[in-house]
Structure 1
Amino acid sequence: MHGVATASGAITFVNALATGIGAAAAVTLDVEAEVDLEVDRRPGPGAITIAPPSDTPLVRAAVGAALERFAAGGTPTVQVRIRSSIPPACGLKSSSAVSGAVLAAVARAVGVATDAATLARMSADLSQRIGLSATGAFDDAFAALAGGAVITDNAARAVLWSGEAPTGLAVLLWIPTARHRPSTEWHDRFRARAAEARPAIDAALGGDLVRAMERNSELVESVLGYDYGELRRCLAERGATASGVSGLGPALVVLAAPERAEAVRNALASRGGEVRGVEFRPRARFALAEEAP
C-alpha cells in the first residue's frame, strides 16, 4: 500500500502561547510525505524505516499515531520518505506540516477517509504529548493541511473561523540563520502577559488579520527579546503594509503591495540571512483520503 500527501508551511497572525487562541495562514512552502506500508495480520514486532535525516521523534510519533488510528490490529512494516522546503525551527510551522503530511500519507496508504480537522487534532495531540509544542499548535496544523487562514482555540482544538488570507499582497519571508527553542520553554512567560495578547486576538476576530500581525509581533518581540523595531520601521518606510514575527521566530513575515515588494526585499537582503518570496495558499479542495497511485 502506497500513500503520498503534502502539507504547507504557514505564518503567524496571532501566537497562541499567551491565551490559547491562535491565527495562522498557509503559504507556498511544502512538505511531502511518502509512505509504503504492509500490514501482516499475524503478531510480530513490525518495522518502521524512516529515511534520514527525517528520522526524528516527531516523525516516529506521527507514524505511530497514524498506524494506531488507521491500521490497528496488525503488524506493520512501514517505509517513510519526507521532502521539505520549509526551514526548520524558525517559526514557519515545519513541525506541524511534517506531522500532518505523515498522518495524511498513512491514511491514504490504507484508504481511510479523513479530513483536515481530524488530522490537525491528531497532529496537535502528538506534538503536545512529546513536548514539542506547548499548545499543540492546532492553528498551524489546520492551516498546514486545509490551506487558507484560520483562527483557533488550541486548548479546545476548535476552529473559530476559517477563510482566505488577505489578498492583493506580496508575502516576503526574512529568515535569519538562528533557530528557536521549543515553545514549551517560553509558555509561562507568554501566559504571564496574556492580557497584552488581546488587541491582536480582537483584531483577528474582527477580520483584520494584517493589524493582528503587527500587534502580535509587538508582544512576541518583547517576550523573546528580538530587536526588530528599527527594521520594521525601515520596512514601513519602504512601503511594507505590515510585518511581524512568525511563530517564535526568528523568521519575519512582511506583507507589501506588489509594486513595493522589490524595495522591501532589498531592505531585507541588506540585513543578511535569507529572503524568500512566497504566496498565501488558498483553502484546499482535495480529498485527504485519496489513495496515491
Structure 2
Amino acid sequence: MEGRAAAPAAGTVLNALANGYGAAFAIDAHTEATVELDETGEVTGEIAGAPEADTRLIERCVEVVVEQFGDGEGGHVRTESDVPMASGLKSSSAAANAAVLAALSALDATDEIAREDACRLGVDAAREVGVTVTGAFDDASASMLGGVTVTDNTEDALLRRDEPDWDVLVYTPDERAFSADADVARCERIAPTADVVYELAADGDYERAMGVNGFAFCAALGYPADPIVEAMPEAAASLSGTGPSYTAVGDRETLVELRDVWEKREGHTWLTTTQHTGATTL
C-alpha cells in the first residue's frame, strides 16, 4: 500500500491575513511525498534533509485521509522538496497536498474525491496542527489546481481560477519566517488596502494586485520594498506570503535583467515559470 505524489510551490498575489481573501499562483518547483501504509495504526513522518523538522502536518494529512477512506491504517510519510521551508513559497501547502494525494493513491481512493475537496483535507490538517493562521486555502488551491486562484479563506471557497503564462523570478533571503508567527493584528490594520487588492484580483488584474499587495505587506511585516521597486514598471513583484521571499512575474528578458539586480543581495535568486497542472500522483 504505497502512493507517491508531487505538488508545486506558489507565490502570492494577495495575502489573506488582512481581510480573509487571498490569491496565489503555482510555480514550477515541487514537493514530493511517499506514503507507505501498514496495519500499525500509527502514522510517522520524515522530511528529507531536515531530521529535526516538524512532521505533524504531513502526518495529520495521512491520518485525515485514512479516517475518511481507509480502515485504521498507519504507516510512514516522507517528503522531499526543492522548495525552501519557511520562505513564503507555500512549502507547507505543497507538502500537505502531496501527502494527501499520496495517501489517497496508497488507498486507491484518488478517484473518490474531487481535487478541491482533497485540497480542503490538507487545509483542515494545517489548521489542526497550527501551521497556518488563515487556513491558507488560497495557497493550497493554487498548489493543488495549478494556475492562479482567488479564494475566500473564511469559507474555503474558490472564487476564480486562471492560467497565465508567466515567467517567474524568485528571490529568497537566507532568513526564514514561519507564517504562524506573523503579526496578524498588524496585518489586519491594512485591510482597506487589501480590499483594493482583492478587487483587482477578482477582476483578473493580477500584476497590479501583486504590486499593491507587496508594498502593503512589506510595510506591515517590516520587510524592505526595494525589490518591488526594482522590478517596476516592466515587471510586477510582491512579497510572497509572510516573507521573506519575493516573486516577480513578467517576460523572460525583463526577469533576466532583474535577476542581475536581485542577485546582489544575500540569498538565492532563481528563474522559473507558472505551473498549470497542479498536484499529481506519480
- TM-score, length-scaled by structure 1: 0.88
Deviates most, 152-161 or 120-129: 120-129
Question: Of 100, 103, 111, which aligns to 1:103?
Answer: 100
Q: Which runs of 5+ in 1 are unaligned?
A: 40-44
Partner of 1:13: 13
CA distance in structure 1 between the aligned counterparts of 2:43 and 2:242, rounded to whole angstroms: 31
Conserved 8 A contact 1:164-1:283: no
Conserved 8 A contact 1:241-1:255: yes
Question: Of 171, 194, 198, which aligns to 1:174?
Answer: 171
Deviates most, 61-70 or 92-101: 61-70
2:214 matches 1:217: yes
Conserved 8 A contact 1:124-1:135: no
Percent identity for Structure 1 against Structure 2:
32
For these two proteins, the number of residue pairs brought into alignment is 276
* Greater radius of gyration (CA): 1
CA distance in structure 1 between the aligned counterparts of 2:22 and 2:58, rounded to whole angstroms: 24
2:45 matches 1:50: yes
Partner of 1:204: 201
- Let me know the Cα RMSD of the aligned residues: 1.9
Residue identity opposite 1:187 in structure 2 = V
Partner of 1:234: 230
State the 1:29 CA deviation.
0.8
Partner of 2:257: 263
Q: 1:43-192 to 2 correspondence within 5 Å?
A: 46-52=41-47, 53=51, 56-71=55-70, 73-74=71-72, 76-112=73-109, 113-165=112-164, 167=165, 169-183=166-180, 185-192=182-189
Residue identity opposite 1:176 in structure 2 = P
Residue identity opposite 1:193 in structure 2 = I
CA distance in structure 1 between the aligned counterparts of 2:227 and 2:179, rounded to whole angstroms: 25
State the 1:280 CA deviation.
0.1
Deviates most, 241-250 or 180-189: 180-189
State the 1:235 CA deviation.
3.0
Residue deviations 1:217-265, cap 9 Å, x none? Answer: 111011101112x3332333xx641111010111011123222222111
1:77–1:231 distance in 2 versus 1, CA, 3 Å? closer
CA distance in structure 2 between the aligned counterparts of 1:133 and 1:234, rounded to whole angstroms: 30
1:55–1:190 distance in 2 versus 1, CA, 3 Å? closer
Deviates most, 45-54 or 140-149: 45-54
Deviates most, 115-124 or 241-250: 115-124
- TM-score, length-scaled by structure 2: 0.91
Q: Which runs of 5+ in 2 are unaligned?
A: none
SS at match of 1:33: strand
Residue deviations 1:161-191, cap 9 Å, x none? Answer: 11213x3x42100000111133354222222
